[in-house]
Chain A
């Protein structure tokens, strides 16, 4: 059996991006924003794991994983993975413009990963087929991988990063690179 994971090319140098936020936010709204983003960009969304730990005096702990995939052509598929670790999560009542709202206060760390996978339909299995695949990846698709697929997925992942920053109202949410891809 061929290890398929080795056909995954990381689109983000250093493997992942980190975003940390600590303060008041709307957890339900954040969840909605993330799922909406995956749908907007044509990704199929899966949630491989959702953990909720019993609240301690400082609050509950949650770990959520989102995995989205999108087929680009018969040979290439994009993967975007988002891991969210929320801790010290408590409900708070906030009055905003005279309206009482239930929000959350927590510390949160988000990790973004993205991969370009080739041969997702597993056409190349035998030793000889794998040799052909290697040749294709090295010589025929090398430029496409560097200039198109990896680059596009890299900037698409930043769009999710920016969308979350905008939702959280972070000071650094404007993105001058938003028109790239």
Chain B
């Protein structure tokens, strides 16, 4: 198995109020495309419940940095009680959604993703030596880049949700329990 190092572990973002689900999703996917990530939508669930829509998304795009290392950013989004509302802003009526979102970000640095260096114990040993001593500065630089990219995405989403701040929403403390559908 390729080695997966956890670089960002469960960074959370919670929001409640007005926003546009479709635009949020598009913004996230566009960001990944611009940054050269490949698309991966592991899970997409949409359920209509009496209190509004329940949407669960699990995105896990990846980007190959070299033949040996790749970035993986995993985002899990759970949106609950999503209702469609009409809002008047500067005299123009627009359709938006109201509801709750919980997002969890993880970032991984995956090395030897082509499994070239694990077929024999000697290869595995050589790989470990190289990882520890030769590639260390490169790996550190990759880690810093991955953290910066994940933080940029996190801030973009936060900024995107802030656009709707004229409404009554409030930032909430990160939740600890996943809401059920």
Contacts and interface: CB of A to CB of B under 8 A. Distances in A.
B82 A177 contact: no
A172 B47 contact: no
Interface string B45-73: 11110000101010000000000000000
B156 to A, nearest CB: 14
A176 B44 contact: no
A172 B39 contact: no
B44 A18 contact: yes
Contacts of A165: 44
Interface in A141-181: 151, 154-155, 158, 161, 165, 168, 170-177, 180
B46 A18 contact: no
A23 interface: yes
Interface string B82-122: 10000000000000010000000000000000000000000
Contacts, number: 66
Given A13-B40, A17-B41, A158-B39, A170 B46 contact: yes
Contact of A174 (B22, B38, B42, B47): B22
Given A172-B22, A177-B29, A19 B44 contact: yes
Nearest to A168: B46
B29 A23 contact: no
A176 B29 contact: yes
A151 B42 CA distance: 16
Interface range, B side: 20 to 34
B25 interface: yes
A141 to B, nearest CB: 16
Contacts of A20: 43-47
Contacts of A22: 46-48
B30 interface: yes
A158 B40 CA distance: 9
Given A13-B40, A158-B39, A173 B45 contact: no
A132 B37 CA distance: 35
Nearest to B45: A20
A19 B21 CA distance: 17
A14 interface: yes
B39 A21 contact: no
Given A18-B45, A21-B47, A176-B30, 5 more contacts: A21-B46, A22-B47, A154-B38, A172-B57, A173-B22
9 contacts: A13-B40, A18-B44, A20-B43, A23-B46, A23-B48, A170-B46, A171-B46, A173-B22, A174-B26
